[in-house]
Amino acid sequence: MSRALVILNRASDRERVQAWAAKAPWGTRVTFQEAKRTSDQNARMWAMLTEVARQVQWHGQRLSADDWKLVFLAGLKAELRIVPNLDGTGFVQLGRSSSDLSVSEMADLIDLIAAFGARQGVEFADQLEAA
């Protein structure tokens, strides 16, 4: 087997991983990762980003939801790297994609957006529905 993915949901999944590990040749790489973000988290993030984009002017500019996503990802305190673009007229931010976030990292991102929104007076749709 050159590559395998097992999502741990029951005892038999753990047993399968243990059996594979016992038989794996030396030098085999094993990676454990937290579960990826959920579809519900992704939908909530985009709904919140859309509201922030609609309601907040940032340093005299209206940013798109995509722009806000990059701003908030940088706010997660992850490594931030910036390099010049190909023609030297601007810069490109290198780093994370929200699709790579784990469930807990996505929860942190949503909390960050909510806290920023609260400070800026953003009214999120789910708040209006609950009122």
Would you say residue 8 lies in a domain? no
The total domain count for the chain is 1
Would you say residue 29 lies in a domain? no
Per-residue pLDDT tens digits for 41-66? 999 999 999 999 999 999 999 999 99
Q: Rounded distance, CA 106 to CA 43, Å?
A: 11
CATH number for position 67: 1.10.3790.10
**Domain enclosing residue 113, as ranges:** 35-130
Would you say residue 116 lies in a domain? yes
This prediction has a pTM of 0.70
Low-confidence ranges of the chain (pLDDT < 50): none
